[in-house]
Structure 1
Amino acid sequence: MKTNTLLLTLFTGLVFVSCKPKYEAEENSPGEMNPERFVMIGGGTTAGYMDNALTAKGQENSLAQLIANQLSLTGGGDFRQPLVSSGSVGIGLQGNSALQLGYKTDCKDVTSLSPVPLAENGDITIFQDQLYQSGSSFGNYGIPGMLIDKTTLYGYSSENLFYARFASEANATVLGDAVATSPTFFALYLGEEDILYYAKTGGLTGLIPPASFESVYRAVVTALTGTGAKGIVATLPDVTQTPFFRTIPTNGLTLDAPSADLLNSIYSTVGISFQVGANAFVVNDPGVNAFNARKILPDEYLLLSLPLDSVKCHQMGSVFPIKNQHYLSLDEIQNLRDHITAYNSIIREIAAEYGLAVVETGPFYENLQNGFVYNGVTMSSTFVSGGAFSLDGTSLNAKGNALLANEFIKVINAKFGATIPQINAGNYTAVLFP
């Protein structure tokens, strides 16, 4: 009996093992979209601009490239970018080189970790590149600094040397070159440079009127869908949630008794007072009083462009008010947000009309502002240590781009019934410490 019982037990176990269902991974599928020829049009994030410059490393981790990598798993073809030389220090919109984290000594002879340029100047030799070749096409039409109305501007390469490197001809348009690739699927992240340009200049530049924004956006979508392509478009985030606007505290003016007394003697006639300890910085505000000066408000933003050595050693923000280009006032913040709201309404409306997928970037940036955990690692918009932004304070780093690319992928899957795998953002780098 013992032998029979043992045999029965073994037999039962074998049957159980043999009947256990096997796990099969979900097959990657493009669903109802065709990723064979993917094209993306946008600004710096699309191009891979990070650490305040365009570099090969940034391009390899551009938003467009990361999306293309995942599309290749479901039938996407080759995706070309106008690559910078891998040994280049890169070049930024002001002719600067890329930034790295290094040691910097300030005007008080204090040395600390800070973003420092890789070289004294950017690599202007990349603008000598002529990368366009007849019969071959690019997939990444991300152009650093490209405002939306420049997308359809003939001869734009004469204004923007980043585009001149791979424009098909001197009188070409970015949209025309993109359409000439006969895309089967496209992505748009247009308007990002418009809102950044306004915000980073302290509201001193204008913003394109919503009616003009709509006209250009509709022209772009009409041309791309005219090829039979499907696509995804991105709304615009509140860029004031990036480190560029949230790092320098408005109440960072710390005073001892003699300094407070001095400032009180200077500003008493216009009703501005100071105390020992923390105070709000003084900013320039034309017409507010005889000195055109006031204290910055808690809900206003000091920009990362503020020259801190001038603050520490030359009384900027106290005796000498901070200039308008280094802060955003409440009126400027409201103007920016009103335009973002209007632009996003237009984007959603046109997307619905043409059957396009829409990725909402606002919640993504808001989540970074609040902080969240990804694969056991806290991600946030904290400057340098937050893990998602590059050293210029507005551009995402490689890890941040991977996380944003996943937002695109999730929406593509939902809209077109695709099963494109998401990126493991943990495999991508953030800020490198020396």
Structure 2
Amino acid sequence: MKIINIKYIALLVAFIGFTACNDPEDVTLIEEEVVAELPALSSGSADFSNYVAIGASFTAGYTDGALFKAAQENSFPNILSKQFAKVGGGAFTQPLMNDNFGGLAANGARIAEPRLVFGGAGPVPLESLIGPVTVTTDLTANPTGPFNNMGIPGAKSFHLLDLGIPGSGYGDIMGLGVYANPYFIRMASSPSASVLGDVMAQNPSFFTLSEIAGNDVLSYALSGGTGVDQTGNINPATYGINDITDPNVFAQAFNATVTTLTSNGANGVIANIPYITDLPHFTTVPHNPLDPSNPDFGPQIPLLNSIFGALNQIFAQVDPSRIILFSETEASAVVIKDESLADISAIISGGLLSNLPAFEAFIGQFNLPPQAAPGVAGLLGLVYGQARQATEDDLFVLPSSNVIGEVNTDTFAQLSSPPFSLPPALAGQFSVEGITLPLEDKWVLLPSEQLEIKTATDAFNSTIADAATTNGLAFVDFKSILEQASTTGIPTGNYTLTTNLVTGGLVSLDGIHLTARGYAVMANEFMKAIDATYGSNFEESGNFVDAGNYPTNFSPTLQ
């Protein structure tokens, strides 16, 4: 049963026509502008002869929900390496994937999905447009290193030093699914190698260390806060995959990484991380998408309000903020489960049964017999014990757009079976995500969870800034850059890039990672920081890249 469908914002494309001028008198002659000669490019005190990039998915060039060749070729380190080559920079190697489908396999079994593409109204899986594809990049067929681009999608700070589960290497295929990273498995020099060890084996003269703190909070955010804030736990071997890293663990790992990278006299640039909740993965889905004009939802509002009316009498006495009411004239908020609320399941069940004749009459309108009253009261208490309608302070992860308004098949099966044994129509009616079935925590970032992310981010960024100052390294304030993009936008050439999904140009279709154009902007910010610290003149000499020459999306036919 489909109740309502939440769609992405459609991409609007404007076409501008040009009118030719035929009459000489209509033409205004403009004197040729005199362009000042630019100074020659100089590297200053920086030595780019052996540039190595270390980081996570942004460094790798991850975009549109996957890693693939075209995206890697437009990674910000690869863009930088081409500019560095003009002043003595050497070859720059990357662990390229085998195709442009994206995805990853292990012994032929798919473990990562192909990329997303634009489907006309929003992001859709590549295979929904072109049909099934074979993922040709298998982590058992490792490319030959060493690699200058050591961007490892999913890597956290302590992973760089292999401080996770003892005896299980981060690049050891035997640890796949437990601790090892599939992207590092295919590029590690050996199963026992560490990311930082493989970097230092190349004796880099210059490095970038970017966004490495991101995954220390990102997996928690992507999971809707289902992980644990491990602040106070200094043993990363005990962390779950979706946990927030303790700030002291991060500081130890990050400072050790920087100390090691600079131990041979190398210069470099480090970057902080943004508030990831400003990214469109968390800002695109509104808290109030339930439109009364939708023919699948609007006609049901009176019945829904009648059902919730019985609960609202109890909510009004216990906590009025929990009252659930759908408007017949304006968009309504979805119903969520808020785990920070006190569980009043027993109060709901007891309150409904306290006036048994009235409750038996209430369930009678659904053709349920009086003897079903205790079971239904228990069910309503169980489902709505921590329920409320969302507010604008709640954030919804992007995949929730495919869930809201859909029937949860697991709940439907449960309600259709003993001990509930509801009729199929009624079981379906009570299984609609975000309407009669509160959205689970994995779809929502509550304000309390957002605060945990912000607090950790601030702590991580303080460590990063201190490391830059202490070691005399160039510094990129990626946090401020993203704040600008999410508010006024970033002017670049003929474009103003924003964080809007699809239309903004900066962030790719997964709502987290950048487009190729966004990575070009990032490369320019790195060169700006290098100019300021090492006396190079990439900007003054006209050697910033033109972000407008880079794509914002890739065709579904690109293979």
TM-score scaled by length of structure 2: 0.69
Counterpart position of 1:295: 389
Which stretches of structure 1, 4 residues or longer, exceed 4 Å deviation after superposition? 119-122
* Letter aligned with residue 305 of structure 1: P
1:337 and 2:433 correspond? no
- State the number of aligned residues: 403
SS at match of 2:325: coil
1:72 and 2:97 correspond? no
Distance 2:208 2:493 in 1: 27
Q: Does the Cα contact within 8 Å between 1:55 and 1:91 map onto a contact in 2?
A: no
**1:90 Cα deviation from its structure 2 partner:** 3.5
1:262 and 2:271 correspond? no
Q: 1:260/1:303 Cα in 2 relative to 1: closer, same or farther (>3 Å)?
A: farther
Q: Does the Cα contact within 8 Å between 2:274 and 2:478 map onto a contact in 1?
A: yes
Counterpart position of 2:333: 280
Q: Which runs of 5+ in 2 are unaligned?
A: 1-33, 163-167, 173-179, 228-242, 293-297, 316-322, 346-383, 409-431
Q: Does the Cα contact within 8 Å between 1:91 and 1:98 map onto a contact in 2?
A: no
Distance 1:300 1:27 in 2: 52
1:62 and 2:75 correspond? yes
Distance 1:114 1:165 in 2: 28
SS at match of 1:279: coil
Counterpart position of 1:218: 255
Distance 2:74 2:407 in 1: 39
**1:124 Cα deviation from its structure 2 partner:** 5.9
Distance 2:67 2:461 in 1: 27
Distance 2:104 2:498 in 1: 27
Could you report, residue by residue, the CA deviation over 1:369-416 in whole angstroms, capped at 9, with x for unpaired residues?
122432222311111111111111101010011011111110110111
Counterpart position of 1:115: 124
Distance 1:260 1:418 in 2: 68
**1:30 Cα deviation from its structure 2 partner:** 0.9
Could you report, residue by residue, the CA deviation over 1:37-59 in whole angstroms, capped at 9, with x for unpaired residues?
11111110100111111100110
Distance 2:305 2:433 in 1: 12
Counterpart position of 2:544: 422
Structure in which a larger fraction of residues adopt strand: 1
Q: Does the Cα contact within 8 Å between 2:324 and 2:335 map onto a contact in 1?
A: no
Could you report, residue by residue, the CA deviation over 1:258-289 in whole angstroms, capped at 9, with x for unpaired residues?
32441452342333323213111111123444
Could you report, residue by residue, the CA deviation over 1:136-156 in whole angstroms, capped at 9, with x for unpaired residues?
x31111001111111011721
Could you report, residue by residue, the CA deviation over 1:99-150 in whole angstroms, capped at 9, with x for unpaired residues?
11125xxxxxxxx5542224657726431222235xxx31111001111111
* Letter aligned with residue 326 of structure 2: F
Q: Does the Cα contact within 8 Å between 2:289 and 2:333 map onto a contact in 1?
A: yes
Aligned with 2:156 (options 141, 147, 151): 147
Distance 2:93 2:156 in 1: 22
Aligned with 1:183 (options 201, 204, 229): 204
Q: Does the Cα contact within 8 Å between 2:117 and 2:509 map onto a contact in 1?
A: yes
* Letter aligned with residue 188 of structure 2: A
Tell me which structure has the larger Cα radius of gyration: 2
**1:433 Cα deviation from its structure 2 partner:** 7.0
Q: 1:372/1:64 Cα in 2 relative to 1: closer, same or farther (>3 Å)?
A: closer
Distance 2:200 2:267 in 1: 13
Q: 1:210/1:181 Cα in 2 relative to 1: closer, same or farther (>3 Å)?
A: same
Aligned with 1:102 (options 96, 119, 124): 119
Distance 2:93 2:138 in 1: 17
SS at match of 1:332: helix
SS at match of 2:264: coil
1:156 and 2:192 correspond? no
Q: Percent identity?
A: 32
Counterpart position of 2:478: 361
**1:344 Cα deviation from its structure 2 partner:** 0.5
Distance 2:273 2:137 in 1: 33
Distance 1:264 1:273 in 2: 9
Distance 1:122 1:348 in 2: 44
Counterpart position of 2:236: none
Counterpart position of 1:350: 467
Q: 1:30/1:358 Cα in 2 relative to 1: closer, same or farther (>3 Å)?
A: same
* Letter aligned with residue 327 of structure 2: Q
* Letter aligned with residue 184 of structure 2: Y
SS at match of 1:41: strand
Counterpart position of 2:437: 320
Q: Does the Cα contact within 8 Å between 1:167 and 1:177 map onto a contact in 2?
A: yes
Q: Does the Cα contact within 8 Å between 1:385 and 1:431 map onto a contact in 2?
A: no
Q: Does the Cα contact within 8 Å between 2:98 and 2:137 map onto a contact in 1?
A: no
Counterpart position of 1:42: 55
SS at match of 2:526: helix
